[in-house]
Structure formats: C-alpha cells, structure tokens
Amino acid sequence: MHLLSATAGLVLVNGVSYGLLLFMLSSGLTLIFSMLGVLNFAHASFYMLGAYFAYALTGAVGFWAALIVAPLLVGVAGALFERVVLRRLRARGALAELLATFGLAYIVVELVQLVWGRGPVDYGVPIAFEGVLVHVGGIALPAYRLFLMGLACAIALLVWVAFRATRAGLILQAALSQPAMTQALGYDVPSLYTGVFACGAALAALAGAAGGNVLVTEPGMAATVGSVVFVVVVVGGLGSLGGAFVASLLIGLLQTWAVTSDATLDQWWSRGGAGDAVSPLSFLAPLLHLSVAQLAPAVPYLLMVAVLLWRPRGLFGVREG
C-alpha cells in the first residue's frame, strides 16, 4: 500500500512538473495569439533555441547566467522577426503570417543542425542539483524538478500580474480590443506588438533553457513538443492564459499517468460488459490488446477532440477563431 501511494505521488509530481513546463511554453503562444492574432508555428523553435543557447552559454558563463541570457537573446531574435517580417505581412492577412512562421520553423531546425549537429547534446542539470533528492511525504524527488515547478509557478504569477494589474498590461488590453483608439491616444501599437512577440519568444526560450536538460536537447525537440503546445492552447481556449494553465496541468497529469499505466484497453472493455464477440464493435478487437502506455502519445489529441466536441471554444475560450 505504501509503495502504491509512493508511485501515485511520483506520478502526480512528474505530471505537475511536466504540465507546468508546458504552461511556460504555451503562455507565450497564448500571449502572441491574444495580441497579434498570429498562430505562431515557429513557437516551439524558440523553445529549442532557448535550450541550445543555454547549453552553449553554460560552458562560458554558467547555468544561472545562461538561464537569463538565453531567453533574452531569443526574445531579441523574435522581436527582429516580428518587426522585419510579420509587420510587413500583416496587411496580407493571417495566412501569409502563418506561412512565414511555418518557414521560420524549418529554417531554425536547419541552422541548429548545422551548428550543433543532428544528435542530442550533453545538456545536463546544474551541478548543484545533480543527485540531490528532496523527500516529500516519503517520496524522493529530484530537487531540479521542484525548482522547475517553482519557476513555472513564478512565471505564471508574473505574467498574470503584468497583464492584469499593471499600467503596461492595461495598455496591452486596450490595444487588443481597440487598437485604433489606443494609437490615437499616443501609444505606439506596432511597438507594443513587437514587445509582446518578443516576450512570447522569450517565455518559450526560458522553458527550453530550464527544461532542455530534463528532457532531451536535440533537433527534433521542437517537433516533439510543438504539436502538444498547440493542443494546450486549443483545449484551454485560444487567447486564455487561465485556460492554458488548466489545460497544461490536465495534459501533463493525464499523459504522465498513461505512460506509467500497465492497464490494457481490453480490461476496461470487458468491465463495461462489451466483451461479447458478436458485438457490433467486435472489429475493434485487435486494438483492445494495446496498453494505455502505448497510447500515451495520443492522449493530448484525444483530450482535444473530447473538449472540442463538448465546448468548441475550449475550456476558457475568449476570442472568436
């Protein structure tokens, strides 16, 4: 019984830490869509750049300085991209902007492979956290995972306060709902857009810099996590930071539980009284031998389909598509 509770506690902590990492990544995408209306397909590429920049800088200035400098560098790159490319394409509509970010994602992958190669790099956790375990409720947890959770919670609070309780946040909200009026009042709305895009890119890079040493830092990491991030944003509701937070935790917990589960689908099927061979759905029998762990990669997408069938705008959708 103690072993079972310890395992459940470990799954809970790992799920929450993964979910909070997803929120750090998806919050930037949510901000960019809220302000600019751009579904940034290159967002996960900024996440990858944050991990690689932090890896390269760690050897020169140390991990803690790299954790600050890498997101700043990626934020500057994001600002340049918005100012030079997206601003000129805005008059041509959302499709042109989407295609530009799609192309940028491929360019970033190619550049990363040219500089750092096609294999994973040895980006490890800081020496201060190596092998350090923290015992919580009888469960031994890596200290760095707890640091990740604390960092993500701090970022969530900071973003919420900045957007809801500061003068700059109120101006941004005004620019979102009434850009022409905000411009008439003397505020530079295009520069606000550039700043928001830079902040979104920096948040993604921070997630990469902080989480790239827990996950694998390699050229495919953007593709691996990119689709999941879009699922988070859709499930939470396009443009909703609160929705992104809830959806991130939900997906993190469900996927972590699925990965560690040893159950099979036929067990649930038979419990539901549908195990009869003459059932109209008996053609699905070969699929029932799959384990829940094998279906773990599909869990976020199944959740997205379920949420969209029940609530097409997502859990906390605030913006029409």
Going by pLDDT thresholds of 50, 70 and 90, the confidence category of residue 205 is very high
pLDDT at 208: 92
> Looking at the predicted structure, is the pLDDT value of residue 202 above 70?
yes
pLDDT at 55: 94
In a domain, 136, yes or no: yes
- pLDDT tens sequence across 280-293: 545 555 565 667 77
pLDDT at 56: 93
Which residues, 6+ apart, have CB-to-CB distance to 83 below 8 Å? 194
**Angle separating helix axes 2-36 and 167-177, nearest 10 degrees:** 60
Going by pLDDT thresholds of 50, 70 and 90, the confidence category of residue 135 is low
For residue 286, the cross-strand partners are: none
> Looking at the predicted structure, is the pLDDT value of residue 274 above 60?
no
pLDDT at 307: 87
Phi, psi of 80 (to 5 degrees): -65, -40
| Mean of pLDDT over the chain | 81
Going by pLDDT thresholds of 50, 70 and 90, the confidence category of residue 136 is low
The structure tokens listed for 77 are 């790159």
Q: Which domain holds residue 83?
A: 1-219
* Helix boundaries (H) for 37-81: 43-61, 63-81
In a domain, 302, yes or no: no
Bigger pLDDT: 269 or 216? 216
Share of the chain above pLDDT 70, in %: 83
> Looking at the predicted structure, is the pLDDT value of residue 78 above 90?
yes
Instruction: Please tell me the total count of domains within the chain.
Output: 1
Mean pLDDT in residue range 187-208: 87
- pLDDT tens sequence across 256-267: 888 877 766 665
Going by pLDDT thresholds of 50, 70 and 90, the confidence category of residue 209 is very high
- pLDDT tens sequence across 101-130: 999 999 999 999 999 999 999 888 888 787
Rg from Cα positions in the chain: 21
In a domain, 224, yes or no: no
pLDDT at 100: 92
> Looking at the predicted structure, is the pLDDT value of residue 3 above 50?
no
pLDDT at 177: 66
Which residues, 6+ apart, have CB-to-CB distance to 230 below 8 Å? 29, 39
In a domain, 299, yes or no: no
In this structure, the number of other CB atoms found within 10 A of the CB of residue 11 comes to 17
* Helix boundaries (H) for the chain: 2-36, 43-61, 63-81, 87-89, 94-116, 143-164, 167-177, 179-184, 189-211, 221-236, 241-260, 265-271, 299-310
Alpha-carbon distance 96 to 41, whole Å?
A: 12
In this structure, the number of other CB atoms found within 10 A of the CB of residue 305 comes to 13
- The strand pair at 133-136 and 139-142 is best described as antiparallel
In a domain, 237, yes or no: no
- Predicted TM-score (pTM) of the model is 0.84
In this structure, the number of other CB atoms found within 10 A of the CB of residue 316 comes to 19
Closest CA to 239 of 29, 25, 22: 29
Bigger pLDDT: 271 or 221? 221
> Looking at the predicted structure, is the pLDDT value of residue 138 above 60?
yes
For the chain, the residue count is 321
In a domain, 21, yes or no: yes
> Looking at the predicted structure, is the pLDDT value of residue 1 above 50?
no
In a domain, 129, yes or no: yes
Largest CA-CA distance found in the chain, in angstroms, rounded = 72
**Poorest-pLDDT segment among 99-113, 145-159, 191-205, 278-292:** 278-292
Alpha-carbon distance 312 to 309, whole Å?
A: 6
Bigger pLDDT: 117 or 297? 117
In a domain, 175, yes or no: yes
- pLDDT tens sequence across 214-248: 888 999 888 888 888 888 888 888 778 888 889 99
Q: How far apart are the first and last CA of the chain?
A: 48
Mean pLDDT in residue range 24-52: 86
